Homo-oligomer: A and B are copies of this chain.
Amino acid sequence: MNAHWVLTIICKDQPGIVHAVTGAIVAANGNITESSQFSSDDTGRFFMRLQIESNSPRTHLEANLRPVAEQYDMEFELDEVGRKLKTLVLVSKSAHCLNDILFRQRAGQLPIEIPAVFSNHADLASLAEFYGIPFESQEFGAAFEHMLRDYIKSAGIELIVLARFMQILSPEFVAEFAGRIINIHHSFLPGFKGANPYAQAHARGVKLIGATAHFVTADLDEGPIIEQNVVRVDHGDSKAELVSMGQDVESKTLTQAIRWFAEHRVLLDGERTIIFG
Q: Which residues of A contact B (CB under 8 A)?
A: 14-16, 18-19, 22-23, 25-26, 29-41, 95-96, 99, 103, 107, 109, 130, 188-192, 203-208, 210, 224-230, 234-236, 238, 244, 248, 252, 269, 271-275, 277
Bound CA span A26–B109, Å: 39
Contact (A271, B236) CB under 8 Å given A19-B25, A29-B15, A103-B96:
no
- Say yes or no: B230 contacts A208, CB within 8 Å: yes
Distance in angstroms from A23 CB to nearest chain B CB is 5
The reply to whether A103 and B109 form a contact with Cβ atoms under 8 Å apart is no
Contacts of A18 in B (CB 8 A): 18, 22, 32, 35
Interchain CB contact under 8 A, B235 and A269: yes
Pairwise interchain contact B252-A228, C-beta atoms closer than 8 A: no
Bound-complex Cα distance A50 to B260 (A): 24
Whether A190 contacts B191 by the Cβ 8 Å rule is yes
Contact of B244 with A225 in the complex, beta carbons under 8 Å: no
User: In the bound complex, do residue B191 and residue A188 qualify as a contact, i.e. CB atoms below 8 Å apart?
Assistant: yes
Which B residue sits closest to A253, measured CB to CB?
B207
